[in-house]
Amino acid sequence: MSAESQGLRDRFGSGRRSFRTWRGERPFWAGLLTLLGGLPIMYFPYANLTVGQLTVRMATTAGSGSLIIGVLLVVLGLTLWFQKSSRVFAGVAAILLALVSLVVSNFGGFLLGFILALIGGGLAVSWAPGTPVTGVPAAEGPGAPGDGGHTAPEPAIAGIGADDESTNGRNRAG
């Protein structure tokens, strides 16, 4: 192999790793499904189906409503990618727009856009950012080969025993 092909492989690998990191820090699949859900909702009301010499136009009186719903779903999908802090709002809005598209836009883009937007909105609402991996390396943790497999005993009943959140039997909540 030449030096050029090796450099190209390294750049491709580092680009792939950086995309994977970027994708892991946000609700990527929720944004993609929401964005893809908006496309059939926008497209079908303006599409012409030609069968032989017969042209069937699927335009409805709510064509502009379908266009608005589709554009909003695409924008919400992009919002989920680039503004991960607004994921709950974008997810709820995507679910509501998907439900509205059933009546406004040819059964939500013949159910294709409806299903994609509904699943994307649900994924957006349920996504939570991961916690960074910090702590003890695997070789030094409980049950490591060097400590003989001993682990700290757990309380027999949940809630029994001292924890960090209580003082004299009283909870410090609120």
In this predicted structure, which of 46-50, 92-96, 106-110, 137-141 has the lowest mean pLDDT? 137-141
59: left (phi over 0), alpha (psi -120 to 50) or beta: beta
pLDDT at 23 over 60: yes
For residues 101-124, give the mean pLDDT: 90
Flag whether pLDDT at 136 surpasses 80.
no
Cβ–Cβ < 8 Å for 130, 97: no
Whether pTM exceeds 0.95: no
Mean pLDDT of the residues in the chain: 79
**Domains of the chain by residue range:** 27-126
The 3-class secondary structure across 63-118, one letter per residue, is HHHHHHHHHHHHHHHHHHHHCHHHHHHHHHHHHHHHHHHHHHCHHHHHCHHHHHHH
